Structure 1
């Protein structure tokens, strides 16, 4: 099983959901996305999420966990962003409890969706294929891991609890990274 490790450069690197890899210096440029001039027009990860009603619950959670400034920082980050429908799959009252009473757990959940670095869908898919049947293990900025595999022609993420999330949209470019949309909130434990 191939494992991706990331060095947490500072507390500011803690953020919402992403995918990247630690590679030798000569390979880094090939693996990381280039931020185009058009990406700057899109805004940073937080601004892109704020501009799409599908992520209103995620934006509220990021605000409650006080991660907005971090995710607006230079990055790059790749965020696996759960939609409102993904948050709706959680047991009733969970989001409200996390955003008002248990922001420490909320922060842990949100940072489990973020990986330092920028990786587009083609790069992630190639890494999964290279890793083989065991899947590609990704270490998040929160220190947890999840596994990325390909099933039925799409990318599936398996969290630490064994739950799966499907990637439903890829390569949403922001000025400080990349967003991949997922249909389920992943849990670090």
Structure 2
């Protein structure tokens, strides 16, 4: 009987140790926070703070504020990703959203819950078709186009454009085609850039001396 009790106690101690270790590891996982949610037609785009030392993120959204029903989860497998567009949602519905980090099979605590209401579905006609089809021109992105005057498919493409502008004006001054006053007035000394939350394309401003 004593031997049996000893075995039972040993098992209980081992289980408790494993559970304690798991909780400690999960508690040490870096948590993230939602920075913004933007509603779109039957969709929303959620953005969050990037964290290091993790595998990725898990987003959970629901029409229930307590997440007791109608829950859906999406895994983001790249730790560098900081935004996600959630589609195929119901118009005029309010959604609750939260996010957490994960590493392997371990998860952090959930972030604070944010809510967003999806607008009513728009019917396409000559008056609102422009609202239905985003990003068809520079006036229909989620933000304004920069003084570069164009949208790029990626940030690296934008940087390549900036470098080409610098190279162009350097070549002009080297060939004595322009004066130094013209050079410093036109050659970019830097840039700032941003992306459209609808389509992910990039634009920006060239800075000058």
Higher helix share: 1
- Give the number of the structure whose alpha-carbon radius of gyration is greater: 2
TM-score interval w.r.t. the shorter chain?
Answer: under 0.3
More strand by share: 2
What TM-score do you get using the length of structure 2 for normalisation? 0.20
What TM-score results when the alignment is normalised by the length of structure 1? 0.21
Higher relative contact order (CA 8 A, sep 6+): 1
